[in-house]
């Protein structure tokens, strides 16, 4: 067995508002007083008042300055104030669920170092928020950010210092008919595309959406026309255009293995856009939910058919073992894993950040398979080599185990990627019960 170490690492800062209030006294005037005399009760921590729009701008600027290495960061006060948690969650989901599979697969299976990571952000806004968060998240990330609005472009230029310019390229979009997806030079490889599209078609759609949500959120009250509206169909119209352009872009080497994604603010739009993707013969379509105060969804699609992103198998059983104990137990039993459902050989694993990656390949030395190979009734190879309908015996799967964030005595199993493997739910369940068996022997 070979033991690999994964290069995949995300640096997700944990934001501590109390710490910021203690550190920056200027934020205290934005805190709620907790008794009738305007004083805090006992030692109760400061309570930041998020209900005022200006307070949201102040805290967001401070969060970015403190946790995302942009000390001069400022927000344009007449533009959308981005919610950091929501934006971080979007990027983390794309990285963890979509990119990790591709990178670990190429590292382990093809022995290739991952490509340079360019990310396209369509409509980056005056806040340049996805690029700024994304640079911190992964030190290899670089962004191509597009924007059409003149005021926003001026503000972005004021934010782009020499350090940021090395990793963020701003593409100015001249008019509404120009391409949404910029085509970079041939030596650039785009790993994924993100977008937070203009939300609504017109004022009527905004009004009906706001009445459904019951509360008005101050950060959405302050926004400009181009942030709010896309007359040609709102977010559905905007994302349909991205889909159309992605079909053409995916033919180019710059977009090979690229994941195209967009955030959606209205649940009903997911099915409309999924249907549109299906009508364009796109097979790999996934959706994810982001839930903080309001729900958002991420729609992701791709034109590759080899790697499937993470499928989640929730933990039903508990174990008091830590990830490193699981690693030791696997080490002792790695030679062969065989049970009626799990006839696979473990070929390697790597643990980072309390996650354990386990790569299993189908056991091609099983007597049944050997006989088929000898009789030329089966083949070994990759899907691109497939020439007949003979069964393939190169199935492999990369699983990820990690401790549940709510209970360290539980762990979750996820399928990070699977190649030629149809029944990944069975294998991940079997893997989970296998772990339980070896840990309780």
Ligand X SMILES: C[S@@+](CC[C@H](N)C(=O)[O-])C[C@H]1O[C@@H](n2cnc3c(N)ncnc32)[C@H](O)[C@@H]1O
Residues 6+ apart with CB under 8 A from 45: 18, 21
Torsion sign (Cα): 318, 321, 327, 329: negative
Q: CB-wise, 129 or 266, nearer to ligand X?
A: 129
> CB 295 → ligand X: shortest distance, Å?
16
| Nearer CB in complex with ligand X: 234/348 | 234
3-state SS of 284-346? Answer: EEEEEEEECCCEEEEEEEECCCCCCCCEEECCCCECCCCHHHHHHHHHHHCCCECCCCCCEEE
| Residues 6+ away with beta carbon under 8 Å from 144 | 118, 119, 120, 121, 169, 171, 182, 184, 188, 190
Name the residues that contact ligand X, by CB under 6 A. Answer: 80, 82, 122-125, 127, 129-130, 146-149, 152, 173, 176, 180, 196, 198-199, 226-227
Give Cβ neighbours of residue 278 (< 8 Å, ≥ 6 apart). 285
- Nearest approach in angstroms of CB 198 to ligand X is 5
> Minimal distance in Å, beta carbon 362 to ligand X?
43
Instruction: Name the residue nearer to ligand X (CB basis): 123 or 309.
Output: 123
CA angle 350, 352, 354 (to 5 degrees): 115
Nearest-approach distance from CB 253 to ligand X, in angstroms:
24
Whether the Cβ atoms of residue 258 and residue 193 lie closer than 8 Å to each other? yes
Kindly state the smallest distance separating residue 144's Cβ from ligand X, in Å.
12
Q: How far is the CB of 171 from ligand X (least distance, A)?
A: 8
Q: 144 vs 306, which CB is nearer to ligand X?
A: 144
| Partners of 169 in the β-ladder | 144
Q: What is the CA radius of gyration of the chain?
A: 24
Q: Which is nearer to ligand X, 21 or 242 (CB)?
A: 242
In DSSP notation, 232-279 reads: TTHHHHHHHHHHHHHHHHTTSGGGTTPEEEEEES-THHHHHHHHHHHH
* Closest residue to ligand X: CB criterion: 123
- Return the number of the residue (118 or 344) whose C-beta is nearest ligand X: 118
d(C-alpha 363, C-alpha 430), whole Å: 15
CB of 416 to ligand X, least distance (A): 27
Residue 82 or 134: the one with the smaller Cβ distance to ligand X is 82
């Amino acid at each position: 067995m070979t033991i690999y170490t994964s290069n995949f690492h995300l640096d997700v800062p944990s934001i501590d508002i109390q710490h910021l209030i203690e550190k920056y006294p200027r934020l205290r005037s934005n805190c709620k007083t907790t008794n009738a005399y305007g004083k805090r009760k006992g030692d109760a921590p400061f309570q930041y008042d998020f209900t005022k729009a200006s307070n949201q701008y102040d805290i967001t600027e401070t969060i970015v300055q403190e946790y995302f290495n942009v000390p001069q960061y400022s927000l344009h006060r007449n533009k959308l104030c981005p919610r950091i948690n929501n934006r971080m969650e979007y990027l983390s989901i794309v990285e963890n669920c979509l990119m990790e599979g591709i990178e670990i697969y190429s590292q382990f299976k093809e022995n290739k170092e991952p490509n340079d990571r360019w990310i396209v952000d369509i409509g980056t806004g005056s806040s340049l928020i996805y690029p700024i968060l994304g640079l911190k998240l992964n030190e290899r990330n670089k962004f191509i950010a597009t924007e059409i609005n003149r005021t926003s472009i001026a503000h972005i230029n004021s934010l782009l210092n020499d350090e940021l310019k090395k990793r963020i390229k701003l593409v100015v979009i001249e008019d509404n008919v120009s391409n949404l997806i910029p085509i970079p030079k041939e030596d650039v490889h785009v790993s994924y595309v993100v977008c937070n599209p203009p939300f609504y078609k017109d004022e009527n759609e905004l009004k009906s959406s706001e009445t459904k949500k019951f509360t008005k959120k101050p950060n959405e009250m302050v926004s400009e026309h181009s942030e709010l509206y896309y007359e040609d169909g709102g977010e559905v119209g905007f994302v349909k255009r991205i889909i159309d352009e992605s079909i053409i872009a995916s033919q180019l080497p710059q977009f090979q293995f690229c994941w195209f994604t967009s955030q959606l603010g209205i649940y009903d739009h997911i099915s409309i856009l999924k249907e549109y993707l299906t009508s364009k013969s796109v097979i790999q379509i996934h959706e994810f939910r982001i839930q903080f105060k309001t729900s958002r969804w991420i729609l992701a699609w791709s034109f590759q058919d080899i790697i499937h992103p993470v499928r989640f198998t929730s933990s039903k059983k508990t174990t008091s073992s830590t990830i490193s104990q699981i690693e030791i137990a696997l080490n002792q039993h790695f030679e062969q894993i065989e049970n009626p459902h799990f006839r696979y050989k473990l070929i390697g694993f790597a643990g980072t950040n309390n996650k354990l990656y386990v790569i299993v390949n189908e056991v091609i030395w099983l007597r049944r398979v050997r006989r088929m190979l000898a009789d030329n009734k089966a083949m070994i190879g990759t899907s691109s080599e497939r020439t007949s309908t003979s069964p393939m015996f190169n199935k492999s799967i990369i699983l990820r185990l990690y401790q549940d964030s709510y209970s360290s005595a539980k762990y979750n199993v996820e399928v990070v990627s699977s190649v030629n493997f149809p029944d990944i739910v069975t294998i991940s369940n079997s893997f989970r019960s296998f772990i339980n068996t070896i840990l309780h022997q």
